[in-house]
Amino acid sequence: MTSQLEHAYSVCRGITRTAAKNFFYAFLVLPGEKRDALCAVYAFMRYSDDICDAPGLTLEERKEKLAAWLDSFHRVLAGEATDDPVLMAVADAQKRFDIRPELFDQLVYGTAMDLPAGNAEIVYRTFEDLRKYCYYVASVVGLVVIKIFGYRDPKAEPLAEQCGLAFQLTNILRDVKEDAGMGRIYLPEEDLARFGRTTADLDPARLRNGMDPSALRPVLELLAERARQFYAASNDLLPLIDEDSRPALWTLVEIYRRLLEKIARRNYDVFSERVRLSVPEKLGVLSRGFLLRLTA
């Protein structure tokens, strides 16, 4: 590996260490080459998300920047030189682990789904509508990640998609208040109506003024139960990936499962404060992940 490429991966590791509060812990139990590749993929996704959330840019400017970012990526894949460390590293990871380029297209497409039309809120009518969104922003991530983890049995692919869905539903539960503040409502209208609620219950002003969290608890419980069903896929996925990657998958699933159950123990009050695992809690999971790696 050239010094320039080593520097590119180092930049991606720094981005991941700073921004990936849950993923980075799982990456630590991977062999170095796989860890670097995942950090490159994460940095690519992080840059795409940052464009989407960039303050001071119009909707069209964000779309243009996303398109330019993806175009630059394709040009680097085609052999064009670049000084961008993230593009350099992720292009190397794509070739090294034979990741289908269209998966990166889908990742950026998923990012663009968080861009509203004008000032309209982003709302999903049914759970199936939400699931389609989750496919692009999370299930596709699962498909990329298992290429780096390594697998031979194609049965691993739908299982990885389900794991990604479980992670995304957990994120949605945790971030209900923050997402609503950005005009993004991921609780399906159909689920809200089932329990006598509407998207108006997620109005940022109501949430800031201390709305009774029990009002939305049944909706959040329903989403949590769906997430638990998808987490079950990890049990079948684990033996299908390379042995040196199993501790990382186990660590990642354990961190997200614990986050989900912590939300449940708080009676789904994700409005008073952001629910998260503490650093000692994550380190406890990480230590068990290291033990699994040593005994694999």
DSSP assignment of the chain: --HHHHHHHHHHHHHHHHH-TTHHHHHTTS-HHHHHHHHHHHHHHHHHHHHHH-TT--HHHHHHHHHHHHHHHHHHHTT-----HHHHHHHHHHHHTT--HHHHHHHHHHHHTTS-STTPPEE-SSHHHHHHHHIIIIIHHHHHHHHHH-B--TTHHHHHHHHHHHHHHHHHHHTHHHHHHTTEE-S-HHHHHHTT--GGGG-HHHHHTT--GGGSHHHHHHHHHHHHHHHTHHHHHGGGB-GGGHHHHHHHHHHHHHHHHHHHHTTT--SSS-----HHHHHHHHHHHHHHHHH-
For the chain, what is the mean pLDDT? 90
Q: What is the pLDDT of residue 181?
A: 86
When pLDDT is cut at 50, 70 and 90, the band that residue 226 belongs to is very high
When pLDDT is cut at 50, 70 and 90, the band that residue 118 belongs to is very low
Which CATH fold would you assign to the domain 116-296?
Farnesyl Diphosphate Synthase (1.10.600)
What percent of the chain stands above pLDDT 70?
93
90 pLDDT higher than 90? yes
Domain range summary for the chain, segments of one domain joined by + = 1-108, 116-296
53 pLDDT higher than 80? yes
Q: What is the pLDDT of residue 86?
A: 97
Q: What is the pLDDT of residue 296?
A: 55
List pLDDT tens digits, range 124-158.
999 999 999 999 999 999 999 999 999 999 999 99
119 pLDDT higher than 60? no
Q: What is the pLDDT of residue 245?
A: 94
Rounded mean pLDDT, 247-272: 93
